[in-house]
Structure 1
Amino acid sequence: MKRLTSLMALLAGGCMTAPAPPPTIAPPAATGPFADLPIASIAPVPENWWHLYDDPVLDRLVQASLAANADLRVAYANLDGARAALRQARAARLPQTTIESAATVDGSASQPSASSNVPTTDYDLALTASWDADLFGRLRSGASAAAADAGAQAAALDGLRVAIAADTVLAYVELCGATQALQVVSEQVRVQERSVAAVSSQLRAGEVSPLEVSQVTNLFETTRATIAPYEALQTNARYRLTTLQGRPPADARTNLRTAEQYSTTVAAG
């Protein structure tokens, strides 16, 4: 009886399914009063969220960056592999069928009652069906693990796609902003250059003092010194966009002329 009781306990323990994963509990820092603010309940962002800028140039740049990124292609391949493993794990829980067929041609030597010129053919067809009862929950746990892996790969793909699009949008906005700022500063430099010429002319006529000429010249040089940082920011944005598109760095000097046109349109509007 003791052996029978031990055997029954062992079988009962073996039939138990795998334990469910523990529930996810949000930390106290994530459930503060800020969670009730209106900004925390905004509508879901659309998949192609950069279309909200309504700029065809930006749309082309983002699509080019997404198409040229090798890491994104690897993420798509990983997601396809994870989904294939999920389909395989789910299919393992279904009945498995096997169909076998065979055809055999018997000669007249093995058929004494048949004519010597008429061979006989035998056709065999067999259908086998099997199903795993999954008493121990192995297949169910494997399917759950495959589903979690597919979800993780999909999340990694979405995160990478968002990062690429965000980097492209940020570089493009910085390019447009630097271009617009350069236009404004260049106009200020031209105006102040005329002011320096006018004050210098007044100095020669004895109408102003050298101090006033020095002040105007100092303002002119200070304004002109701000051109270099904007040019560096513009060049940096060009190289970033070119790199995101998988193009050689030399193309940064010749392409993206539409960014200047876009900035000019924004300034005119």
Structure 2
Amino acid sequence: MRSRLALAALLLTAGCTTAGPDFRVPDRAVVRDPDAAAPFLSARNPAFDQAPVPDHWWRLYDDAALNDLVAGALARNADLRVAEANLEQAGALVREAEAGRAISTTVGGGATLDRPNGTGGSLPGTIGYDIGISAAYPLDLSGRIARGIEAAQANAEAAVAARDYVRVAVAAATTRAYLGVCSANARLAALDRILKLQRETLDVTRRLQRGGRGTAFDVTRAQGEVDATLAQRPAIEADRQAALFALAALLGRPARDYPAGVASCAAAPQPSAPLPVGDGASLVRRRPDIREGERRAAAASAAIGVEMAQLYPQVSLGGSAGFAGPVSGLGSGSDFRFSLGPLISWSFPNRPVVRARIDAARAAQRAALAQFDATVLGALQETETNLTRYARERERLADLTRARDTAARAAAQAGKLYHFGRADFLQLLDAQRSLAQAESALATSRAQMLDRQVDVFLSLGGGWE
């Protein structure tokens, strides 16, 4: 009796608390640092507004074609289908872990032939049978099952966050590709304007040569400027086609099935107001990769409890019922049997091995927490960097716009002076070359600024609900 009481006391002591630590974000985690929740340093620029980032940030461009493309990509993108399948798998693993708490049943039966020593060879002996069903319910006094469920649920929540981050990336990539098509068309239009001016100069030069006022050398130099400008066109057209192919892939289509209507986009849309960026606190709440990192750390913490539970016995409440006896009495009430009681399983594990696994689980949790910190730091750095780059690109764009306007006036003035014989041909070509370079730099900066805008929204984690 005393031994039974001692064993019961041991089991109760083991079951007082769930094995392993309860997860909480450490006080010294980066996410708890007040500086991580502060307004962005780079958001002081008038290009930004500290209003919350909208979920559907691409609607700030007020472009119906873009809205349709993003909606189509979020509905059919192959990477999102992968993420959804991973989420379903994680959900199935949660159900598997929860099933560990369910009652398990076993049905069995058998037959025996009993022939005592000395029985005559002609006698068959006694044929017996045993048929029954048993059931066991795990009490989980050590918390092994509970920690396993906790780990599976945390991993499932991390899979949700990973899916959300794919949505963010798909929305940003679709917007970037669409704006890339529009920007390429705008660059081609700027190139055509320069070509028109250069070809007009070439025609004038040819007429002057035929009239004896120009030289073949002047014609050759004018033709060289036209050819140099034409040489820029294939690269821009290739960029446009690459953006169209990217849109096809994002929409879940083969490359040749790109949205042909988008190819004619003449000018990239622009948000009509400063970009809403929120602050550090809203960034930490919104970024799915930060949420995923926190959930991975929680799963790693629960895994410690799973390993620690191996140090304790596993106890179940079990019962069985059935019939056993000679076949001659099959089904009679006297053959019925029934039992109910605790079932104790303790494999007396190799404790050094279990301790090593516990140490490994603790190290994995420290790594997960460090990765969580790194994710928060990376998100803050990425956001500040992209805000700064966008603000500086806007300033650069304004400078390049003024430079282009100045170059255009200079080219017009050079044309008039050349026409009246007050400037030589080289001065005209230099002025037109400067205008061509200014137009090219301006078009490139406009495209770069749009890219920077998408970078800002991507780093802010907008694009999921």
TM range (shorter): 0.5 to 0.7
Is the CA contact (8 Å cut-off) linking 1:181 and 1:230 kept in structure 2? yes
Is it true that 1:175 corresponds to 2:181 in the alignment? yes
Is it true that 1:57 corresponds to 2:61 in the alignment? no
Secondary structure at the residue paired with 2:267?
A: helix
Greater Cα shift, 200-209 or 257-266: 257-266
CA gap 1:177/1:220 in 2 versus in 1, 3 angstroms: same
Match for residue 227 of structure 1 among 209, 216, 233: 233
Greater Cα shift, 35-44 or 207-216: 35-44
Is the CA contact (8 Å cut-off) linking 1:186 and 1:227 kept in structure 2? no
Match for residue 67 of structure 1 among 66, 71, 75: 75
Give the match for residue 191 of structure 2.
Answer: 185
- Give the distance between the partners of 2:16 and 2:37, measured in 1 at CA: 44
In structure 2, runs of 5+ residues without a counterpart are: 44-49, 104-135, 271-442, 444-465
Deviation of 1:43 after TM superposition, in Å, equals 5.4
Deviation of 1:36 after TM superposition, in Å, equals 4.5
Is it true that 1:136 corresponds to 2:142 in the alignment? yes
Give the match for residue 15 of structure 1.
Answer: 16
Match for residue 267 of structure 2 among 255, 263, 267: 263
- Give the distance between the partners of 2:161 and 2:269, measured in 1 at CA: 38
| Deviation string, structure 1 residues 186-231 (Cα, Å, up to 9, x no partner) | 1221221121011111122222344433332222111111111111
1:161-172 mapped onto 2 (5 Å cutoff): 161-172=167-178
CA gap 1:221/1:43 in 2 versus in 1, 3 angstroms: same
- Give the distance between the partners of 2:140 and 2:42, measured in 1 at CA: 44
Superposition TM-score, scaled by structure 2 size: 0.42
Give the match for residue 222 of structure 2.
Answer: 216
Match for residue 40 of structure 2 among 38, 41, 56: 38
For 1:202, give the aligned amino acid.
Answer: L
Deviation of 1:232 after TM superposition, in Å, equals 0.8
CA gap 1:24/1:229 in 2 versus in 1, 3 angstroms: same
- Give the distance between the partners of 2:173 and 2:143, measured in 1 at CA: 45
CA gap 1:148/1:34 in 2 versus in 1, 3 angstroms: closer
- Give the distance between the partners of 2:147 and 2:269, measured in 1 at CA: 58
Higher relative contact order (CA 8 A, sep 6+): 2
Match for residue 247 of structure 1 among 241, 253, 276: 253
| Deviation string, structure 1 residues 141-169 (Cα, Å, up to 9, x no partner) | 23322320221110111121122222211
CA gap 1:9/1:248 in 2 versus in 1, 3 angstroms: closer
- Give the distance between the partners of 2:192 and 2:248, measured in 1 at CA: 26
For 1:16, give the aligned amino acid.
Answer: T
Give the match for residue 200 of structure 1.
Answer: 206
Give the match for residue 164 of structure 2.
Answer: 158
- Give the distance between the partners of 1:145 and 1:237, measured in 2 at CA: 41
Is the CA contact (8 Å cut-off) linking 2:191 and 2:229 kept in structure 1? yes
In structure 1, runs of 5+ residues without a counterpart are: 97-129
Greater Cα shift, 185-194 or 258-267: 258-267
- Give the distance between the partners of 1:70 and 1:231, measured in 2 at CA: 27
Secondary structure at the residue paired with 2:180?
A: helix
Deviation of 1:70 after TM superposition, in Å, equals 3.1
| Deviation string, structure 1 residues 38-76 (Cα, Å, up to 9, x no partner) | 258855533322222221111111222222223322422
Match for residue 148 of structure 1 among 154, 162, 165: 154
- Give the distance between the partners of 2:20 and 2:256, measured in 1 at CA: 58
- Give the distance between the partners of 1:193 and 1:202, measured in 2 at CA: 14
- Give the distance between the partners of 1:265 and 1:144, measured in 2 at CA: 47
CA gap 1:216/1:262 in 2 versus in 1, 3 angstroms: closer
Is the CA contact (8 Å cut-off) linking 2:185 and 2:266 kept in structure 1? no
CA gap 1:80/1:44 in 2 versus in 1, 3 angstroms: farther
CA gap 1:54/1:33 in 2 versus in 1, 3 angstroms: same
Give the match for residue 238 of structure 1.
Answer: 244
Give the match for residue 115 of structure 2.
Answer: none
- Give the distance between the partners of 2:86 and 2:269, measured in 1 at CA: 42
Q: How much identity, in percent, do the aligned residues show? A: 35
Secondary structure at the residue paired with 2:240?
A: helix
Is the CA contact (8 Å cut-off) linking 2:178 and 2:262 kept in structure 1? no
